[in-house]
Amino acid sequence: MVDGEDVIRLLISAMIYLAANAIGLLVANAILEDVSIDAGSFVTAVVIFTVVEVVIQPLVTQVAMRHSRALLGSSALVATLIGLIVTSLLSDGLSIQGATAWVLTTVVVWAAALVAGLVLPVFLVKKAATSARQR
């Protein structure tokens, strides 16, 4: 049975995942010339990208496990690339020009989102602990 704490954990995880992907896309936009993100469509692009990644990641991992375990480590990069492709097709918020930019954007978004996904929970835990102490 699902209780309130499980729902809260799920929502927090979803928010961290969305924030980490937003940071990844913003970092790619900031450091890569051939990547542009429209401010007005940014939230939509982040949501599309995140939903596609959440759906596609287990599928890519499952295919890698069945056919070539050596590819298992790259499944997150493949999911990121697929997420970027779908987001650029469905949203006016993301534009990537050129093959090199696609490769670099995939790596930058994956790496920045990974780091953000590791760092954001630490900050949230510290903030929650500080808030709890002040009560």
Number of other CB atoms surrounding residue 90 within 10 Å: 14
Number of other CB atoms surrounding residue 113 within 10 Å: 26
The predicted structure's pLDDT at residue 129: 66
- Helix (H/G/I), strand (E/B), else coil: 95: strand
* CA 75, 78, 84, 89 torsion-angle sign: negative
- At residue 1 the predicted structure's pLDDT band, cuts being 50, 70 and 90, is low
- Helix (H/G/I), strand (E/B), else coil: 34: coil
32 within 8 A of 24, measured Cβ to Cβ: no
Q: What is the pLDDT of residues 55-67, one digit of tens each?
A: 999 898 888 888 7
Sequence-distant (6+) residues with CB within 8 A of 11 are: none
Q: What is the pLDDT of residues 19-67, one digit of tens each?
A: 999 999 999 999 999 999 999 999 999 999 999 999 999 898 888 888 7
pLDDT over 70 at 2, yes or no? no
Q: Where does the chain show beta strands of DSSP type E? A: 35-37, 94-96
